[in-house]
Structure 1
């Protein structure tokens, strides 16, 4: 069930053990303004909304989300769609983006879920791209160790090459498994109406 912005502010204020007078003082607004906002006689915008959010120590999105409809199915779709990275890495970012953009700002927690998924997938792709470069440096460094001298000729040892390839392939496998596990875990959470929780990622898209 949706609640009004005023009732959401009132609920958070009480949870913070603040009186209306204290919220007015912390936000720099008048007591009458706070009373009117909580009674839904007026709706705070711009600077007023920012001041109230700061005084309550919450984000503006947390306040405004209270007025939006819940759509766990959409949240879950955004998360599950990132599994498309299995077909092609960039799809894990592109498909969730395509699903999210038309619905942006229309449903509760959808923006936060989408940004979390996109930041994780973008970070994952960056690591996937960097891994071959790191692997190239590694192989160049161990190339000398992979050669043996026989009758005055340098020959590459097959067993050592296989070992080097294994060391390069392992990070790629771990990256893929991490993505799959994180997506499945968060897909289940989203279906239950819970917020997505991914490993730390670079905040390419600010929440």
Structure 2
């Protein structure tokens, strides 16, 4: 890692913690001038200085020294495919991508944007799915819902299975299309998606 990247990383970590240079100097036991020299790429923290800095920033020394924003298209593809966890249980389509997003959102280029897109889409899809379940269970005997279900199929149960199958099928298609687009390094489009994460 070059000095400029290290300086940027220290500055970024300090700002994420909401610390001024003065407070970081106090919490780390380092002089204000040392903090300023590190952030201005005039020096590289090593040994005890690096340990004190990492402790004050609540991270490991390797988080400071080895950090870099890198491109890793294979990670983006894996993250995109991870949304297919919903097939086994709807919430897994949120939990798995969320975990992958949290792990690399600051370390790998494109993870933050893609993760937010996937999560917004999956959260919206789960809301639609559970809303449908609630409407079906509470309104099954209602005239409107019965009429809609009968127009799809004479058997209400079969109609529900078809509608749920359509929701699952749509999610699978959107996920696969966007995974291919990620692989080709093209922009993705997850719709519908409530912009919960911005």
TM-score range, shorter chain: 0.5 to 0.7
Partner of residue 114, structure 1: 115
Q: Which runs of 4+ in 1 moved over 4 A?
A: none
2:171 is the alignment partner of 1:192:
no
3-state secondary structure, aligned to 1:82? helix
SS in 1 for 2:193: coil
Question: Retained in 2: the 8 A contact 1:100–1:111?
Answer: yes
The 3-state SS of whatever aligns with 2:194 is coil
Q: 1:68, 1:100 → 2: CA distance?
A: 14
1:1-38 superposed Cα distances (whole Å, 9 cap, x missing partner): xxx9xxxxxxxxxxxxxxxxxxxxxxxxxxxxxxxxxx
Q: What aligned pairs does 1:1-207 form with structure 2 within 5 A after superposition? A: 68-142=69-143, 163-206=155-198
TM-score by length of 2: 0.58
Per-residue deviation, 1:204: 1.4
Count of residue correspondences: 129
Secondary structure, counterpart of 1:79 in structure 2:
helix
Whether the aligned pair in 2 keeps the contact of 1:113 and 1:195 (CA below 8 Å) is no
Alignment RMSD, CA only? 2.8
CA distance in 1, matches of 2:86, 2:192: 19
Give the conservation status (yes or no) of the 8 Å contact 2:79–2:97: yes
* Gaps in structure 2 of 5+ consecutive residues: 5-39, 41-67, 148-152
CA–CA distance in 2 between the matches of 1:142 and 1:167? 15
How many angstroms apart in 1 are the aligned matches of 2:186 and 2:168? Answer: 24
Deviations 1:14-67 (A, max 9, x none): xxxxxxxxxxxxxxxxxxxxxxxxxxxx9xxxxxxxxxxxxxxxxxxxxxxxx9
Q: Which has the higher strand share?
A: 1
The change in CA–CA distance for 1:122 and 1:200 in structure 2 (over 3 A counts) is same
Q: Is the 8 A contact 2:98 2:119 kept in 1?
A: yes
Taking structure 1 as the reference length, the TM-score comes to 0.55
